A and B are shown apart, each in its own frame.
Chain A
Amino acid sequence: MSNKKTIIRFVVLVVLLVIAAAIVFRFFFAEPSPPTSKLDAPPQELDHEASAAITDETGENGVVVEKTIPKGSTFKDTLAKCFPHLSEAINTPKEFVDNWKSLNSTAEEEPDFIHYFFKDKNGQEVRAQIVYTTAEGRPIRELKIFRVLEDGLPDPVELPAPDRYNPNNTTLSKYIDFSTVFETQKKWSAKSPGSSSIEVEESNSDVTEFQLFQKNTIFRCHEGDCECKAGN
């Protein structure tokens, strides 16, 4: 009986030791897992005809797990509902936005933000954010710089105030290595003199999201998943 007990204890001890060794190894010897960043990701290519990829869960350490859920409303179908006369000629959100711009050539693009993702001399990822805002009615451009640390998350870099507000090109070049920029994100909006306005988000000049408000109609898409809302 006592022999049996000793054997069970021994087996339990061995199992626990293996677990302990694995934990110790993970904490003290294992290579840190590579940060999840744009650097590791393949270049983004949007397939607007494909089923929409929507985010519906978050994995370990907040990494977004993308899950493809079939959606009925692709760009072409939704465009046909909202603007049937355009559905033959226009195939992508980018073409739709370009078409709106050409029809509303007097509408001025109002930038919301521009993000530059680039690498510094040491190959470390850096993000520059130019935020367009207003202070007491006057427009202001604010520059923010973030170093991306090993955890894949940004770390704000403090900038002197004169460099931060309304930076000129020389100042921007001081902080942004434009030759190593691998992604540019941009958000802008525009209003036509009529009753049409558009808000657009772009990544490397491709349209990732837009919302068009025209009279009682709203036409919008996010990474290929679109919606047409037509009011009375």
Chain B
Amino acid sequence: MSFSILVALLTLSFSFSSQAEVWTATAKWSPEKEKEFSVWVQKNWGKDFFSKKENKDGSANIFQGLRVDCADTVYSSRVIFAYLHSLPFAMNDASGGKKLITNSMTRWDSKSEKEKIRNFLVYVYNMVSTKSMHNDTYPVKVSRETIVPGSIILTTEKNHHSWVIKNIFPTGIPHLVFNSTVGAYSGPLLQERKSWPNGDWVFEGNATPEGNAGVRYWRKESELKLPAWQVSGYSEEQYAIKPGKWKYDLQKTLQSTEESTQQTATRLIENICADIQQRIDAVKESETFLKSVGYRCMSEEEFDNYSTPSRDRRLADEIIYLRNFLKTLVQDRNELSLDQKTWQQLKIVFPNLTETIATESQNQKRTVTSSSSLCRAKHYSRGQGIDKSIDLAEVKRRLFTNRLSSNPNHPPEVRFGEDVNIKNSCPSWGNLKLSYVE
């Protein structure tokens, strides 16, 4: 009797001590575990990861409701996989401390298991940023073995953005999952896109290894304190590629099958439609915020969070990319490789490919949304209190005639380029003028 009680007590004591950690790592990272991580990201990482109530197996999603920005999204993928597979997680302390931040932290030992992991994630979110990410990752060689689901893309500091590579299609095109700062405020839904970001934007300001941009992968715990160039697998290959060629080189290296022109057109249109919808959501968030504060002028920090110049530039880049793709098709007399419907739809968006995009847009007539429109969407009008329809052709016309506003103090209809006169005496920060390269 006393023997069994004692054994039970001892078991309890041991389990008590192990519960003190966020989770106990019983497994170790290995090349096989890295492959499992890659497969897990491919299958599970998606825009609804933090919004879905249940997992595929019907169990409750304990991560539901967490709000993440782009860096948080990247770190979450690694922390959550490590937690779910009893693997260790470690990252550098961005405050400059020598000690690593790991799953062995005991700050939340009185909490339930769910609360412990959620608290740990929030702690990680408070510590990390795109600025700290290069210390926990390293730039990889351009190959099918090293650029895999679970890898990340980081921009230079100038544009401070990051993405998780969810998948690489046989065509060499990635499926990316990410979020924005506004996204972190607005809700738990993440964002997705199916294309490489523009290399000129990713490497803007510093295309050397010093800029830390490009595709990167997670460091082993034992290599976290090393400078990146001493980490095993470190490669400067991406920095030898001209930024303007980067995405094409990556696609070429990673592709196992050619993408048909129709597939390319469909994918590029899909990306633009997603960008337009994300802009609509961002402007809605901005409007909700303004309403909540009685439409006062935004502070500098609020202005930064809700303004959209970078987003608008990315949208412009995507539209130009589609237009250049179409121009090449026409030059090569290959437009018949597109199906008739897509060709007709694109002719409405780009009526004069021989002109510059600005001239073409100035001469373009206002389009009315119809059933054959590309990217049909609805944006809110504060003045009229209704949602108004818009499509890709009209967004493009307004964007390249400088009608769209990225100023978050403007009402939504002005941000979407409606011809409305407004008085705005609020201060503005930064350069909001759209810049692009054709």
Contacts and interface: CB of A to CB of B under 8 A. Distances in A.
Contacts of B3: 9, 12-13
A36 B99 contact: yes
B430 A135 contact: yes
Contacts, number: 144
Using C-beta atoms within 8 Å of the partner chain, give the interface range for chain A. 35 or more
Query: Which residue among B2, B226, B310 has the maximum number of chain A CB atoms within 10 Å of its CB?
Result: B226
B127 A152 contact: no
A133 B99 contact: no
Interface residues of B, number: 55
A20 B210 contact: no
Looking at chain A's contact residues, the main secondary structure is strand
B237 to A, nearest CB: 13
A134 interface: yes
B158 A58 contact: no
B6 to A, nearest CB: 6
Contacts of B222: 55-58
A76 interface: no
B424 interface: no
Contacts of B127: 154, 156
A146 B224 CA distance: 21
Contacts of B106: 151
Nearest to A137: B431
Contacts of B301: 161, 164-165
Interface in B104-123: 104-107
Interface in A180-216: 185, 189, 197, 199, 209, 211, 213
Contacts of B101: 62, 153
Query: Which residue among A135, A199, A211 has the maximum number of chain B CB atoms within 10 Å of its CB?
Result: A135
Interface string A13-44: 10011011001100100000000111001000
Contacts of A144: 95
Interface in B80-135: 90, 93-102, 104-107, 126-127, 129, 131
A4 interface: no
A227 B100 contact: no
Contacts of B226: 54-55, 222
B382 interface: no
A222 B304 CA distance: 36
Contacts of A146: 95
27 contacts: A16-B10, A23-B10, A23-B14, A24-B13, A27-B13, A37-B97, A38-B98, A55-B225, A58-B90, A58-B221, A62-B101, A64-B99, A129-B95, A133-B131, A134-B160, A135-B429, A136-B304, A136-B310, A137-B431, A144-B95, A146-B95, A154-B95, A165-B300, A211-B229, A220-B229, A225-B230, A227-B230
Closest 8 CB pairs of A and B: A136-B430, A55-B225, A62-B100, A115-B96, A62-B102, A222-B227, A154-B95, A146-B95
Given A58-B224, A153-B93, A185-B96, 5 more contacts: A20-B6, A23-B10, A61-B99, A151-B106, A154-B127
